[in-house]
Chain A
Amino acid sequence: MTKIAELYVGDTLSDIELDPVSRIDLIKYAGASGDFNPIHTIDEEAKKAGLPGIIAHGMWTMGNLAKLFTPFYEEGFIQEYAIRFRGMVFLNDVVTLKAELKQRDEDVLKFDVLAINQDEKPVLKGQVVYKLA
């Protein structure tokens, strides 16, 4: 594996394609995060809220996206992580996680990060600032 410190501007981290979103994924996340808003787990509640079906917690997708950087933990840490929630993630959606190095100032690496669904529509967009130790 290439070190994160050896990346050049324009380089990307390896994409991660998640398994299709399942209800059990969201039930697990509800339990682990304490976010029991029922639009993420119960169909009738999602429909009452005007949604076609349950949607993933935005923070579930944001949590997933950060794992692009986990393999590099020996080099530093995520200093800043900023996300805009752009689109909803539904059951069976296939989400792909991406990161591209946009700027580098010595030990500070600035990435654009993105999560897209199977139609290439962005569901999450933002930045990660990775601080080398």
Chain B
Amino acid sequence: MKEMIGKASTKVKNTVERGAVKKFAEAIGDLNPIYFDEEVGKQSRFGANIAPPTFARVFDYGAIEGLNLPNKGLIHGEQIYHYERPLLVGEDVYCYSKVSDYYEKAGAMGNMGFIVLENNGEDQDGSTIFTSKSIVILTEAYRKVQQV
């Protein structure tokens, strides 16, 4: 697993889709018109509708070659977002994923592995809109089954 550190996916073009933002806002019970009312968006300081901060999890970040971790049994330990500005409805975002660290620690669930995955988004000029980090825990049982 350690050899995956530094590996990244190729950037994938995503669009902050109007309908997807509204559905997402509904799903987290955050129905503020700033997310979907066009007039409110236009009048706001952003000049457009925005997306909730955790909306970034919807994007396609591309696959990292050689990193194959089935969802089943993974534990999401920590999640960190950093925004330069909010995501704007309708804009294109170029997203990629990167393994920024991997380490192992003995703990309550045996010899556990910790992967730090970065999921980042840029505008079309390559300027960062947001960066994010997920710390994902691989329990000893998971590592045995998946042989990682």
The residue among B20, B30, B71 with the most chain A CB atoms within 10 A of its own CB is B30
A-B contact count (CB 8 A): 102
Asked if A94 is an interface residue, CB under 8 A from chain B, the answer is: no
Interface residue? A47 (CB, 8 A): no
- Name A33's contact: one of B27, B32, B44, B86 (CB within 8 Å): B27
Q: From the candidates A49, A59, A67, name the one contacting B29 in the complex (CB within 8 A).
A: A67
Given the known inter-chain contacts A81-B81, A133-B45, please indicate yes or no for A32 contacting B76, CB distance below 8 A. no
| Residue A108 is within 8 A (CB to CB) of chain B in the complex | no
CB neighbours of A32 from chain B (8 A): 20, 23-24, 26-27, 58
| B77: interface (CB < 8 Å) | yes
- A39 nearest CB across to chain B (Å): 8
Interface magnitude class on chain B: 20 to 34
B30 touches A49 (CB 8 A): no
Tell me, in angstroms, the Cα distance from A31 to B86 when the chains sit together: 23
The CA of A60 and the CA of B79, in the complex, are separated in Å by 12
Q: A64-B30, A79-B83 are in contact. Are A73 and B44 (CB under 8 A)?
A: yes
Interface of A toward B, CB cutoff 8 Å: 18, 25, 28-29, 31-35, 37, 39, 49, 58-60, 62-64, 66-67, 70-71, 73-74, 77-85, 133
Residues of B within 8 A of A (CB): 20, 23-24, 26-30, 32, 34, 44-46, 50, 52-54, 57-58, 71-73, 75-86
| A-B CB contact pairs (8 Å), 22 listed | A31-B23, A33-B24, A33-B58, A34-B57, A58-B76, A59-B79, A63-B28, A64-B28, A66-B52, A67-B52, A70-B30, A73-B34, A74-B44, A74-B45, A77-B50, A78-B53, A79-B82, A80-B81, A81-B53, A82-B78, A83-B79, A133-B45
